[in-house]
Chain A
Amino acid sequence: MSKDTDRRAFLKGSVLLPALGAAACSPPATHQDDLAASAPAAATPAAADYKPAFFTPAEWAFVQAACARLIPNDANGPGALELGVPQFIDRQMGTPYGAAAAWYMQGPFFEGKPEFGYQSQLTPKQQYRLGIRAIDAWCAKTHGKVLADLDAKTQDDVLKQVEAGKVKSDDLPLDVFFTAFLLKNVMEGYFGDPMYGGNRDMAAWKMIGHPGARADFLEWVDKPAAYPYGPVDLHGRQA
Chain B
Amino acid sequence: MKRAALLVLALLVAAGAAVAVTGRSLPDPKVSPAIATRTPDPRHGAYVAVLGDCAACHSVPGSPDLAGGLALPTPAGPVWSSNITPDKVHGIGVYSFTDFARLMRQGVRPNGERVLPAMPYTAYAKVSDEDLHDLYAYLMQAVPAAPTANHADGVLWFARWPIGLWNKAFHDDSRFAADPAKGASWNRGAYLVQGLAHCGTCHTPRGPAFQEKALDGRSDLFLSGARLDGASPINLRGNTADGLGRWSADDIAELLASGRSAHSAVVGQMGEVVAHSTQFMTDADRGAIAAYLKSLSPAPESGRATFAATAASLDAVMSGKQTDPGALRFMNSCSACHRLNGDGAGRALPSLAGNPTVLAQHPDTLIAVILKGARMPSTAAAPSPMAMPPFGWRYDDREVAEVASYVRQSWGNGAPSVSAGQVRAVRRALGLATPGR
A219 and B318 contact, Cβ closer than 8 Å, known pairs A35-B390, A35-B393, A39-B393: yes
Q: Does B331 contact A (CB under 8 A)?
A: yes
Docked CA distance A232–B390 (Å)? 18
A235 and B394 form a contact (CB under 8 A)? yes
Within 8 A of A (CB), among B207-245: none
Task: Establish whether residues B340 and A219, one from each chain, have CB atoms under 8 Å apart when the complex forms.
Answer: yes
Tell me if A103 is interfacial: C-beta within 8 Å of chain B.
Answer: no
**Residues from chain A with Cβ under 8 Å of B329 in the complex:** 236
Range of interface residues on A (Cβ < 8 Å): 10 to 19
Chain A hits for B437, CB < 8 A: 40
Contact B435 A39 (CB under 8 A): yes
Residue among B328, B337, B341, B433 facing the most chain A CB atoms (10 A cut-off): B328
From residue A239, how far is it (CB to closest CB) to chain B in Å?
11
Q: What residues of chain B lie closer than 8 Å to A236, measured between beta carbons?
A: 329, 332-333, 394-395, 399
The answer for the CA separation of A39 and B392 in the assembled complex, in Å, is 11
Which A residues from 137 to 190 make CB contacts under 8 A with B? Answer: none
Return chain A residues, CB-CB under 8 Å to B333.
236
* Chain B contacts for A235, CB-based, 8 A: 394
Main secondary structure of the interface of B (DSSP, over half): loop
A44 to chain B, nearest CB (A): 15
Cβ < 8 Å to B, chain A residues 180-239: 213-216, 218-219, 223, 225, 228-229, 232, 235-236, 238
Interface of A is mostly: loop
The CA of A229 and the CA of B390, in the complex, are separated in Å by 24
Q: A29 within 8 Å of B by Cβ?
A: no
Given contacts A214-B332, A236-B332, A238-B328, contact A229 B320 (CB under 8 A): yes
Q: Tell me the nearest residue of chain B to A39, going by C-beta.
A: B436
B395 touches A229 (CB 8 A): no
By a CB distance below 8 angstroms, the chain B residues around A238 are: 328, 332
CB of B394 within 8 A of CB of A229, answer no
Whole-angstrom distance between the Cβ of B392 and the nearest chain A Cβ: 9
The 8 Å CB contact of A229, one of B331, B336, B339, B435, is B331
B336 touches A216 (CB 8 A): yes
Q: In this assembly, does B150 line the interface, its C-beta being within 8 Å of a C-beta of chain A?
A: no
Q: Is the CB of A223 within 8 A of B331?
A: no
- Return A214 CB to nearest CB of chain B, in Å: 6
How long is the Cα–Cα vector from A204 to B435 in the complex, in angstroms?
26
- Contacts of B318 on A, CB cut-off 8 Å? 219, 223
Q: Is B335 an interface residue (CB 8 A)?
A: yes
- B320: which of A213, A216, A228 is its contact (CB, 8 Å)? A228
Separation of A225 and B319 alpha carbons in the complex (Å)? 10
For the complex, is A36 an interface residue (Cβ under 8 Å from B)? yes
> What's the minimum C-beta distance from A42 to chain B, rounded to whole angstroms?
10
Chain B proximity mask over A21-49: 1 for CB below 8 Å, otherwise 0: 00000000000000110111000000000
Q: Which residues of A contact B395 (CB under 8 A)?
A: 236
Contacts of B331 in A (CB 8 A): 214, 229
Q: Name the residue of chain B whose CB is nearest to the CB of A216.
A: B336
Shortest CB distance A201–B (Å): 16
Residue of B nearest to A231 (CB): B332
Chain A residues with CB under 8 A of B399: 236
* Residues of the A chain whose Cβ atoms lie less than 8 Å from the Cβ of B435: 39-40
In the bound complex, do residue A219 and residue B328 qualify as a contact, i.e. CB atoms below 8 Å apart?
no
* CA A238 to CA B339, docked complex, whole Å: 19
A236 to B435 alpha-carbon distance, docked (Å): 12
Whether B336 and A214, one on each chain, are in contact in the complex, defined by CB atoms closer than 8 angstroms, is yes
Given A39-B393, A214-B335, 10 more A-B residue pairs with CB atoms under 8 Å apart are A40-B435, A213-B332, A215-B337, A218-B339, A219-B340, A219-B341, A236-B329, A236-B333, A236-B399, A238-B332
Can you show 7 pairs from A to B with CB atoms below 8 A apart? Answer: A39-B393, A39-B436, A214-B331, A215-B336, A219-B318, A219-B341, A229-B320
**For the complex of A and B, 8 pairs with smallest distance between CB atoms:** A228-B320, A215-B336, A216-B336, A232-B332, A219-B340, A35-B393, A236-B394, A39-B436
Residues of A within 8 A of B (CB): 35-36, 38-40, 213-216, 218-219, 223, 225, 228-229, 232, 235-236, 238
